Structure 1
Amino acid sequence: MLGIPTKPDSIIEGRDTMEHREIVTCHFSTIRSQSMHFHQAVEIVYLLDGILELRYESEQHVLRPNEFLLINSNVRHEYQGKGDVLLASLRIDYRQLTDLFHGEQLYFLCDSAKAEEASAGYAKLRRCVWQIFQYEQSREGQANAYRNSLYYQMIYILSSEFLVKKELQGHDFRRGIQSERMKEIFDFLTMNYREQISLQKLADQLFLSPTYLSRYIKKNLNMSFLKLLQNIRLEYAVEELVCSDKTVLKIAMDNGFSGITGFNRSFQESYGMSPTEYRQKQQESSRKEPSMGLTEEMQKKIDNFLLANGAVEAEASDQDVSILEADCRERETLAKNWNQVLNIGKAQDLLRYDVCSQVRFLQKSLRFQYGRVWNVLSDEMMIRLGDYRTEYNFSLLDKEIDFLIETGLTPFLELGFRNIGIMANYHTILTEVDYGEKFCSLESNKGFLTELMIHWLKRYGPEQVRHWKIGIENNSGRENYGSMDKYLETFDAVASIFKSYVPELKIGSTGLCLNFHGDEFRTLLEIWRKRGAMPDFIGLNSFPYLWRENPFAAGKNPYTTDADFLYHLLRQTRELIREKGIRIPEIYVLDWSFTLSNRNVLNDSCFNGAYIMKNLIQNREQAKILSYWEMMDLMYDYTDTEKGLFGGGGILTKGGICKPAYYAFDFMNRLKKDVLAWNDDAVISGDGEASFFICCHNYKHFNFRYYLEEENEIEAEHQYRFFENTERKAFLFRIHNVHSGEYRVKIYTVNQEHGNIQNKWMETGFEDEPASAEMDYLRAVTRPGIKVSHIQAENGTLVIETCLNAQEIQGIEVMERW
């Protein structure tokens, strides 16, 4: 019997030219049929769409969507699709595979359509293959590294879960082995195909006559010895044509052909063109089709498949599980720092009917305490500040403040000036108005400031005004805004005048951002320490960019990789304040989001809902106020926003429809008065021992792709590619010392299917702003999903279980049934 041949030195040396070849290749296809053929590579045929009839040696198989079959090396197979199909082929290079296992010949048994053979291994393999599909169309350096790691992970799963032991002879047909002799033929040819092999040489190795061996090969493979050898050589030659820059002559000689003429003739017979023409065609296809030669229709089908199957149903042993225990006897009062301040926008926007309508809705539904507006002292508000002459009429300002008070909002007025701008991405500003000169003239208008305070006291009374908040935004690091000294002079002027009339009025320094002007912030703290005069509060901004670094060194999108950026920002701020030995009464976060872009589709997505809930839970004790960025897309309307959904930073669309981000606030607002337990993923609240509300999320942070893409160029259909994974997460909540008995559990959920305006918008295909009736429809179909069940509390313990898809948020109401 023939053993495994030793590799000739020429083979080992020849492989140095192909070191860059990946061990797995993945291709998508819509070809409906493939005639009987075989190849040395181990192949996984994975059906994404349609029905596929596949003949595998002596067996017939039918694959349906999401089913797959492994075809071993040199196994004859063919397939025929019923109608349109979309399938993926993952081929494992057999030579590299056997090298990996030190020359051992490997055979696998893997057919997901066989229910009786289903196991945890199939779930593991399916998850791995889906991740390969997700990364297969990227060729960035990090994507290459991660994709190759997935290839080896897939091989590990195959070898640990689906490897067929040699002694299991009953599965020989799956190996493509009709006899040990056929195995020996393939072993010898695939290991020595680069050499000049004759039928006589092979026959001598097998101790057979050439005539008998020729008939044997013809009978079992329906081809001659020379055709078999030619097919094996061509398989490797084709790969080198595509993957290497070697000459055609060099490829022919390296793969066992006697010369260029014989290689060209064999190639023409098999592929219908010359090797040179084939290489040129592949290169042209690669240039024209950066997405790996996929048509737009194929790409859409693949995206839909990955989106629909992005939440992988993992086995319990592999699934991420978050466990949270609570005791009704251990509780603390919940301070809802997220609904303290409603960021409205520019003061003049409150003169618009549509803005006022959305403010009323937000206040009625989310119940904020303060309404914050900026650029109060602007020309648009009929207040013209000047160094030598100031003209003003308070009537518009009065209307604005009257509206806030009537709506139940205490005024939070920014007397500094914020540049008005709409950002497409970090590098591109669509429109901006600079108010730097206005700020510089504020300090010289002390008489006007006195008149303003007297006017407020007369109109609203000191008891009302004492509850207001006044912010003075620090833009000292920006051009036209003057120096730090100028800022402090202006701050002191406003504070001294206003507090002389209303000492209880809180006046703070706002617009501070450590990652933008961290040195200025440190300087400001040092000056306050020396002067002994502190603001009543400081207002931070949190936008996770690498402001202080060279942004182009971080890619198109200089986004920090820190998934807990806001949490670390607040910790760092407190540490700086302690280092300076000063005491600032209150720390606010007045503007925070994951992006500055108002053309980022992720603002409209479930991702933002999960991002917000994550940060509200994680930072509930880190700051007195957590005030999300501007709340309405109306503020970002411009000439490019004919569509009603355009990636604006608000939690309401331009037409007033709630985004997933809105429901993050809504669910958190439903928390009961006491906190019983929390972790980074969830919070349990209660009111007594029979009424509870739980908020939880399955937030997924960005992967490297996000940093390589301009934020306004991300497509909603492909957004899943930008996250670290799409795994589900299971949650187990145990609440102890509750009343025994039956409880009703009502789960409100926002995910791809429920509460997701972005998904519904894409489904309906709206191009322009929908009509009134269509808006009513969208409001009706974008509410959270609801599921009601009943559970029993036993021995004073209540157990609630749920499972969340990636970027899903849930609010869980638990009430005792009387």
Structure 2
Amino acid sequence: MKLDECLDFLIEHQIGLGIEINPPKTRVNFKGYYQEMTYLLEHMYNILIDRKSLDLVVYISTIDEQIFQSLVKLFKNYFPHVKIVMNIDNGSEKHVRAAKYILDYHRKEIDNIGFSANQNDMINFKSIDNNQYNQSKKYIILKLKQIKQWLGLKDHSTPFTLLKWNTLTGNTNYTNGAYFRAGIIFEQLIEMNRDICMIGYWLNFEIHQQYCQKETVAQLHGIDLYHQFGSKRPAFFTSALFAKLSEHILYKNENCMVTGDFNHFQVIVWNAEHYNPYFTINDPSNDINYKEYQFNITNALPGMYKIKHYTLDQNHGALYKVWQQYNTRYGMDKETIDYVNRVTYPKLNISEIKVTNTINYHLKILTNAIQIIEFRKYFE
């Protein structure tokens, strides 16, 4: 009954179902596992009125070619439209090269390749060596490049999914919350955009904690979109701002990008500082933790423009900071929770300007902040 209720909910809200498969490594134990999986799929098949109404994705984690083939055939027997992801969750050279055999012989059946990359895995938080933080900046892209090399993939024809990932967070719950990192996540999204077609998030803190009960610090193993009681974390707003961007890039450098066209364009400026998270919670002052920028847009089309200016920084959208401000020794009541959720949002300013030739704009951007200035020319 719980399964049926879940399926009804997913179809009603047009949410896809992803199933992560970690079959037994021995074929003897796999027989019973296969039979139980058959019962599950048979029930799903018979309960669904329209099988195609369920967007089904299966993430298979195995380096046994026979087991992989058996699972693919089983799922496609009941759901021919299922998408198959070969999950390289281990990521070691030995594991990936073993997976290469499966990819070589079943490439037509594999829609995607899944992998994980967590910057915290390569950091010794007991060390104050700053060089390791500099090396971690490109960890996700470097790991993807390495996996492609091991798999013998030189083109972009095979899409990748980043299932579990994280930026540097520190190795405690406190540093994970206090270390504001929207700019770092935004920078990662831009760098991953070319080679990775999908990325994974944890839905919320509670589900993440339950799933990782055996882990010392669950938050290190992924990024949560929500915290508790429907509170949106900065990662949610970062992803929402990224989704607003036009696909057409007019200009880009290391911390600025312009997208859109000459009648409607977006100027995006971000700050991404990669350093030990412990250093960020010892200095409560914001007086020196910012940078100033001046950008000039020459030869702009003359006319009236509407400007929407979004700001996501430590003062606008940082849930943990607001949560601490209103929390008490016995927690928060519903009225307080609702208020915290209402006020924890990026800042939005609206203005209008008349442009004759050049647009001059001055910005003050805090550490790991994101600002998007959207210019839309009125039709006159």
> What is the CA RMSD across the aligned residues, in angstroms?
3.8
CA distance in 1, matches of 2:328, 2:33: 51
Question: How many Å separate the matches in 2 of 1:716 and 1:658?
Answer: 22
CA contact (8 A) 1:652 1:659 kept: yes
In structure 2, what is the equivalent of residue 614 of structure 1?
187
- Per-residue CA deviations over 1:603-633 (Å, capped at 9, x if unaligned) read 43463212211111222112111223x1311
1:633 equivalent in alignment to 2:205: yes
- Kindly report which structure 2 residues correspond to 1:807-818, keeping only aligned pairs within 5 A, or say none: 807-817=368-378
Q: Distance in 1 between matches of 2:52 and 2:129?
A: 51
Residue 592 of structure 1 pairs with residue 153 of structure 2: no
Rg bigger for which structure?
Answer: 1
Task: Give the percent of matched residue pairs that are identical in Structure 1 and Structure 2.
Answer: 20
CA displacement, residues 167-213 of structure 1 (integer Å, 9 cap, x when unaligned): xxxxxxxxxxxxxxxxxxxxxxxxxxxxxxxxxxxxxxxxxxxxxxx
Task: Spell out, residue by residue over 1:634-678, the C-alpha distance to the aligned partner (whole angstroms, 9 max, x if none).
Answer: 22458xxxxxxx978423221222222221112112223544333
Counterparts of 1:733 and 1:409 in 2: how far apart (Å)?
A: 43
* In structure 1, distance between residues paired with 2:326 and 2:252: 39
Whether 1:664 aligns to 2:227 is no
2:141 pairs with 1:567: yes
**Distance in 2 (alpha carbons) for counterparts of 1:491 and 1:557:** 43
From 337, 342, 350, the equivalent of 1:775 is 337
Letter in 2 for 1:743: Y
Distance across 2 between alignment mates of 1:749 and 1:609 = 11
Preserved contact between residue 606 and residue 661 of structure 1 (Cα < 8 Å)? no
Q: 1:651 to 1:733 in 2, by over 3 A?
A: farther
Match of 1:493 in 2: 70
Whether contact under 8 Å (1:537, 1:584) holds in the other structure is: no
In the alignment, does 2:273 pair up with 1:700? Answer: yes
Q: Which runs of 5+ in 1 are unaligned?
A: 1-394, 418-435, 475-483, 639-645, 707-713
Match runs of 1:399-798 below 5 Å: 399-416=5-22, 441-458=29-46, 459-465=48-54, 467-474=55-62, 484-485=63-64, 488-514=65-91, 517-526=92-101, 528-529=103-104, 535-546=110-121, 561-578=135-152, 585-594=158-167, 599-605=172-178, 607-628=180-201, 630-636=202-208, 649-672=223-246, 674-686=248-260, 689-703=262-276, 714=278, 717-718=281-282, 726-730=289-293, 732=295, 734=297, 739-764=301-326, 766-795=328-357, 798=359
Question: Residues 602 and 554 of structure 1: is their aligned pair in 2 closer, same or farther, counting only changes over 3 Å?
Answer: closer
Q: 1:695 to 1:490 in 2, by over 3 A?
A: farther
Paired with 1:622 and 1:552, the residues of 2 have a C-alpha distance of: 30
Q: How big is the shift at 1:519? A: 2.5
Task: State the SS of the aligned residue for 1:677.
Answer: strand
Could you tell me whether the CA contact under 8 Å between 1:675 and 1:684 is conserved in 2?
Answer: yes
Higher strand share: 2
Provide the secondary structure at the position in 1 that maps to 2:196.
coil
Deviation track 1:284-339 (CA, whole Å, cap 9, x = no partner) reads xxxxxxxxxxxxxxxxxxxxxxxxxxxxxxxxxxxxxxxxxxxxxxxxxxxxxxxx
Aligned to 2:213: none
Alignment of 1:163-182 (within 5 A): none
Which structure 2 residues correspond to residues 144-183 of structure 1 after superposition, within 5 A? none
- Give yes or no for contact 2:309–2:349 (8 Å, CA) kept in 1: yes
3-state DSSP of counterpart to 2:224: coil
SS in 2 for 1:590: strand
The count of residues paired between Structure 1 and Structure 2 equals 366
SS in 2 for 1:783: coil
Give the CA deviation at 1:584: 6.7
Q: Does 606-615 or 763-772 show the bigger shift?
A: 763-772
Q: Answer yes or no: is the 8 Å Cα contact 1:617–1:681 preserved in 2.
A: no
**Matched position secondary structure for 1:718:** coil
* Structure 2 runs not aligned, ≥5 long: 211-217
For residues 792 and 439 of structure 1, what CA distance do their matches in structure 2 show? Answer: 71
Give the 3-state SS of the residue equivalent to 1:618 in structure 2.
Answer: helix
Opposite residue 535 of structure 1, the aligned amino acid is I
Q: Is contact 1:510-1:538 (8 Å) kept?
A: yes
Provide the C-alpha distance between the structure 1 equivalents of 2:269 and 2:28, rounded to a whole number of angstroms: 46
SS in 1 for 2:69: helix
The letter for the 2-side match of 1:759 is: K
Return closer, same or farther for 1:607/1:801 CA change in 2, 3 Å cut-off: same
Using the TM superposition, give the Cα deviation of residue 596 of structure 1 relative to its aligned residue in structure 2, in angstroms: 7.9
TM-score scaled to structure 1, two decimals?
Answer: 0.40
Distance 1:590 1:451 in 2: 27
**Residues 753 and 792 (structure 1 numbering): CA distance in 2 closer, same or farther, change over 3 Å?**
same
